[in-house]
Each structure stands twice: as structure tokens, then as C-alpha cells.
Amino acid sequence: MQYCSHWKDIRKDLKSGAFALIDLRSPKEFAQGHIPEAINLPLLDNDERHTVGKLYKEAGKYEAVTCGLAIFAAKAPTFLSQIESLTSAHDIAIYCWRGGMRSRLVGAWLSLARFKVRILKGGYKNFRRDVLESMQKFAEHPKIVLNGRTGSGKTLFLKDLQNRGYPAIDFEGIACHRGSAFGGLAQRESSPTQQNFENQLYDAYLEVETWPKILLEIENFIGPVRLPQKLRESLKTAPMVFLSRDFDDRVKLLTQIYCNDWNAKTEQEFVNNLPLLKKYLSGADQEQMIQAMRQRNFGELVSQLLRLRYDRVYDKSLTRHQSQAMAHFNLSQEEAAATEFLQNVLQEKIIS
């Protein structure tokens, strides 16, 4: 067995597909938070873990360990076949909560079965410590922030630069949510837990941490998850590039993003979420929007939401942050200029 003292020691090989990463903890522990790309093969399921834990408190360590070993022994052949199906190279990395008994037991057993086993020292607990320390470093990292009204295309613009190889992180993509009352509509996956959101942020930050500046979008709470506080605060004071788009283009873009795959489920989610805006929309406004939605008049629906709610909110933010503005671009006419400007900023050809 080989002990790896830090997640970065094995991350590069994992990204290249050189081995499989196995989380030995229970499904409940795994669901709450896990290392990105890990596969859950639990030694004990949720009920079994509860039974062993209760026995530990009532009868002691020896009885609990003996019980756990007996439970695992019955499922060992299935466990081994699952491991073998994951990697033909017989090269795996494993972790549990602290890199303790579960990891040592499975590591020794798999080594006897001729697997090349790496154990993440300190387990998931140490990984989470690294995540939280990295969020502090992330908050202090120089950054450029995109700001602008809903529908300006900030996220699409950021993702385009990211796809071109520039240091950008898509918060909404990681959160599987667009941040508004309707940000969960048309999402293919549900939002992660707060822990997994932070874990994936850490993984994304490791991809760009060597760049002098990182491109981000101004965010705070993104549906059910939130950015760490110090990172949120750093976005509010960073240099900003303000993006706009002609109103009709914004309506068209938002309609494409939110309404292309509209179905009965989406309709019900919209109706359920619309009351979240009751502080800003009258009952008549809401009824008019529901009618437009049911008639599939999405252009009218989006126009009403922008005028009555979202433009008012973003205009306050834009006014508040004007002193941080590096540049303004209307993407309806100046997308190429905006791209060139930010490429130069990120490469430090322009000093922010």
C-alpha cells in the first residue's frame, strides 16, 4: 500500500483516467459530501453502519469491529468484483472518513489480491480541510468579475472564454442552478449539497490557481447553495466588466435558455415558484404571467419578468458597483471587442 499525503498527489492521475477512486464510507456519508469523481463502494450500508456504531457505544470497540468484519466478509466477493470492473490496471485509490480502519482494512486486503492501492492519508476529513483552506486562497486571488442585467449573456460569455482555455469558473454550472427564483428550470441535474458544491469549487480552482487573474460572474446565493462568505465579499470589491445586450436580444436569449424544453413538469415548477416574487409582483401580474406561460407566449412572459422584477434588481447592483467598472460592452454589437479585452486582461496585457 502507498499512503498519499495530499489530494493533489493523486488528482492528476485520476483526471487522466489512470485509476479509480473509491469512497468506502456509507451511502449517507457519501451523499452529504465526497471527493469529485469518487465512486461509492461502501463497506457498510447506512443501517449496518448504524448497528456497528451503536454496538461500539454499548459494548466497546472489539465487539463493534468484530461485527463490522463479519458483515463485510459476507459481501467481500461482490465488493471485489465491483472493484475489478472499475479498472483493468488494478490501480486504485481509496479513502474513508479519516483514512483509518476502513481504509487500512480494505487496502491490506486488496494488496493481497494484487491491487496497487493508494490510500488518501487523513481521508475525507483532511480533504475537507484542504477545501476550506483553498476557499480562503481563492477569496484572496486577483479576479475579474462580470456584471450585468439578467439575459446579458454573462454565463455564456464566461463559458466561451473558459472553453478557449482561459481561467474562468462557472459558479452556476457547478451549482446546477441559475440563481433566480426560476434558476432550477431546465436543469438536467439537481443541485449538489453545500459540501459537494464547495468540493467542486475547490477542484475547479485547482485548474486555474496558477493564473494571475480568474474570470468569474457576480454571485451570492445560487439556489440551494451559496458561495463561501469571504469569496462572496471578494467578488463585491473586485474590478468588474459590465456586459449589456439589447432588450429584444435579452428576451430571445432567455427564452432559448429557459423555454426550449418546456413541458408539464416545467410548467408546474414555474407556477410553484412564481409566488416567491409576490413581494414584487401583484396578483394581477402573476395571473397575467401564468396565462402567457400557458399560451406558450414566452417572449411576453420573459419581457414582463424583466421589466417588473429583474431589471430593477440588477440596476441597483449596477449603480452600486459602478466605481469598480473596468469597461462596458454591449454584446449585441461588441462581443468580439469584449472577448479581446478580457483575453488581454487575463493575460495581463492590460493592467486592471
Q: Which residues are catalytic?
A: 96
Number of H helices, E strands in the chain: 16, 11
Burial 171-184 (b: 16+ CB within 10 A, else e): bbebbbbbbbbbbb
Angle between helices 101-112 and 61-86 (to 10 degrees): 50
CB 123 within 8 A of CB 24: no
User: Residue 299: helix, strand or coil by DSSP?
Assistant: helix
Please tell me what DSSP assigns to residue 323: G
> Would strands 91-95 and 20-23 be described as parallel, antiparallel, or unpaired?
parallel
Find, among 63, 81, 15, 71, the residue nearest to 43 by Cα: 71
Q: In 10 A of CB 26, how many CB atoms?
A: 23
Q: How far is 289 from 300, CA to CA, in rounded Å?
A: 8
